[in-house]
Amino acid sequence: MMRAYDIIARKRDGLRLSAEEIDFMVRGFVEGLISDYQMSAFLMAAYIKGLNEEETINLTRSMIASGRCVDLSSVKGIKVDKHSTGGVGDTTTLILAPLVAAAGVPVAKMSGRALGHTGGTLDKLESIPGFNVNLSKEQFIGQVNRIGVAIAGATADIVPADKKIYALRDVTATVSSIPLIASSVMGKKIAGGADAIVLDVKTGSGAFMETLSESRKLAEMLVTIGHKMGRQTVAIISDMDQPLGFAVGNALEVKEAIDTLKGKGPPDLAELCFTLGSYMLVLAGIVSKPEEGRALLKDTLSTGKALDKFGQLIEAQRGDPDVLSDQGILPRSSMVEDYLAGKEGYILSMDAKKIGEAVMELGAGRETKESAVDLSVGLVLYRKVGDRVEFGEPIVKIHANHYGKLQKAISILKEAIIISDERPQPRPLIYDIITENKVSR
């Protein structure tokens, strides 16, 4: 008979686990037969000793088998999903989903809530008055068939093992593990019905994998799992050392997404959307090269079709489409204050993790017993890394609803933003694009 104790001990000693052993742990935990403390020990052993490629694929399979899969077979065409490993001010889904749908590729997107210092797409969408993210499977699929796009929260029966395991990882310091992230991400994408997957693997201070070499290993593992499980997969390694775009916060990012769909968005955010989107079009088979995809997306954006599609999406999910022309209907904070440069020079860093924490401190993060997610608060950057600033010049606009939280956010910004006399070397926005399995250990 298998026992959790023996499986934990084998992983502790660095031994390889069989598919049956991994499945025993995942299934037992979901069914409540394995306790939190045994699963925590198992996760820590896996974190420290690692899981090889085969074990990671088996873990992904067990994750998927813990729940039900979305059947998108009634949606015509190749269904391409996109997933980010988590970032700060990462507004891409709000732009990409309507943009890619308007270019002719069906987008059935399941998104999540805020996690750690990173924001959640569902929270952002809920800042549009009336917007409903809770769609049944039938509503979700019906909407994709009707207008080509839907964004909803995953129902409880999609990879329940991930929800339970993630909650434990969050409090046991076992999030930043390549096999654990890879199985979590790919399990959800495959269970979500994706035929092909474009992954945005973040690197830098605001990412779960901070160094480029670790991010690259994660990207390669994600692509390997995708290919071994019969899904075309591409991973784009992108910068998350400073926030993406200018806005960080729920309603503030909705405004930024609308600006971007009008062609007036921050250059880095627009560029990342074009890169991710062009690969989505390639995997969907409607263009043969990313350059063609980019041209099609630029045309879709400049003709206003992408913005119209966002309007259709909002209307279909009972949100107020007037938000496209009147952003005054979005929730607004009661206080705004500028954070000023303490000296002249060049911005050396805007630490994405700390900035994310400052925004969580303002109340934009997870719902707690005491308070709901505050949709109106956040930050808007006036400057980015490498920019010149003068003494006393505003660098960040802070939107807050509570004086104490505002002060706390300011003290975090003091640590996050460093000004130096010399102009720093610019970091690239895109580090690499992984299309082939290079790992195979």
Task: Give the binding-site size for ligand URA (rule: CB under 6 A).
Answer: 7
Helix 178-191 and helix 53-65: axis angle, to 10°? Answer: 40
* Dist CA 324 CA 309 (whole Å): 11
Q: How far is the CB of 95 from ligand URA (least distance, A)?
A: 20
Residue 85 binds: one of ligand URA, Ca ion, none (C-beta under 5 to 8 A by kind): ligand URA
Cβ atoms of residues 275 and 430 within 8 Å: yes
Cβ atoms of residues 40 and 12 within 8 Å: no
Contact between 185 and ligand URA per CB under 6 A: yes
Q: Which of 177, 184, 205, 238 is catalytic?
A: 184
Q: How far is the CB of 47 from ligand URA (least distance, A)?
A: 12
Cβ atoms of residues 201 and 85 within 8 Å: yes
Residue 95 binds: one of ligand URA, Ca ion, none (C-beta under 5 to 8 A by kind): none
332 is catalytic: no
* Dist CA 83 CA 70 (whole Å): 16
Which among 359, 367, 375 is positioned nearest to 409, based on CA atoms? 359
Contact between 4 and ligand URA per CB under 6 A: no
> What x-and-dash track marks residues 82-101 binding ligand URA by CB under 6 A?
---xx---------------
* Dist CA 62 CA 56 (whole Å): 10
Q: Helix, strand, or coil here: 386?
A: coil
Residue 208 binds: one of ligand URA, Ca ion, none (C-beta under 5 to 8 A by kind): ligand URA
Q: Given the complex with ligand URA, which of 188 and 383 has the nearer CB atom? A: 188
Residue 245 binds: one of Ca ion, ligand URA, none (C-beta under 5 to 8 A by kind): Ca ion
Contact between 184 and ligand URA per CB under 6 A: yes
How many angstroms separate the Cα of 22 from the Cα of each of 93, 96, 161, 175, 318?
A: 33, 36, 12, 18, 42
User: What is residue 118's DSSP assignment?
Assistant: B
Q: Which of 61, 79, 169, 383 is catalytic?
A: 169
* Dist CA 153 CA 364 (whole Å): 18
Concatenated DSSP letters for 181-240?
A: HHHHHHHHHHHTT-SEEEEEEEESTTSSS-SHHHHHHHHHHHHHHHHHTT-EEEEEEEE-
Residue nearest to ligand URA (CB): 184
305 is catalytic: no
How many angstroms separate the Cα of 348 from the Cα of each of 104, 247, 421?
A: 41, 19, 9
Neighbour count for residue 328 (Cβ, 10 Å): 8
Q: Which of 23, 162, 200, 374 is catalytic?
A: 162
User: What is residue 329's DSSP assignment?
Assistant: G
Which residues from 91-110 bind Ca ion, rule CB under 5 A? Answer: 91
> What x-and-dash track marks residues 227-266 binding Ca ion by CB under 5 A?
-----------------xx-x-------------------
Task: Give the binding-site size for Ca ion (rule: CB under 5 A).
Answer: 5
Helix, strand, coil percent values for the chain (each to nearest 5): 45, 15, 35
Q: How far is the CB of 199 from ligand URA (least distance, A)?
A: 10
Contact between 119 and Ca ion per CB under 5 A: no
Residue 91 binds: one of ligand URA, Ca ion, none (C-beta under 5 to 8 A by kind): Ca ion
Residue 89 binds: one of ligand URA, Ca ion, none (C-beta under 5 to 8 A by kind): Ca ion
Segment contacting ligand URA by CB under 6 A, of 21-29, 149-157, 178-186, 364-372: 178-186
Contact between 208 and ligand URA per CB under 6 A: yes
184 is catalytic: yes
Residue 87 binds: one of Ca ion, ligand URA, none (C-beta under 5 to 8 A by kind): none
Contact between 272 and Ca ion per CB under 5 A: no
Give kind and range of the element (H or E) at residue 346. Answer: strand 345-350
Q: Which of 61, 124, 188, 217 is catalytic?
A: 188
Give the distance, in angstroms, between the CA of residue 359 and the centroid of all CA atoms in the same chain. Answer: 16
Q: Given the complex with ligand URA, which of 113 and 384 has the nearer CB atom? A: 113
Q: Given the complex with ligand URA, which of 85 and 93 has the nearer CB atom? A: 85
Q: How far is the CB of 90 from Ca ion (least distance, A)?
A: 7
Residue 182 binds: one of ligand URA, Ca ion, none (C-beta under 5 to 8 A by kind): none
Concatenated DSSP letters for 27-59?
A: HHHHTT-S-HHHHHHHHHHHHHH---HHHHHHH
* Dist CA 129 CA 366 (whole Å): 19
**Tokens read off for 333:** 């904070």
Contact between 89 and Ca ion per CB under 5 A: yes
Segment contacting ligand URA by CB under 6 A, of 181-189, 209-217, 277-285, 286-294: 181-189
Q: Which of 11, 79, 82, 83 is catalytic?
A: 83
Rg of the chain taking only CA atoms, in angstroms: 21
Would you name the residues annotated as active-site residues? 83, 162, 169, 184, 188
Interacting residues toward ligand URA by CB under 6 A? 85-86, 180-181, 184-185, 208
Interacting residues toward Ca ion by CB under 5 A? 89, 91, 244-245, 247
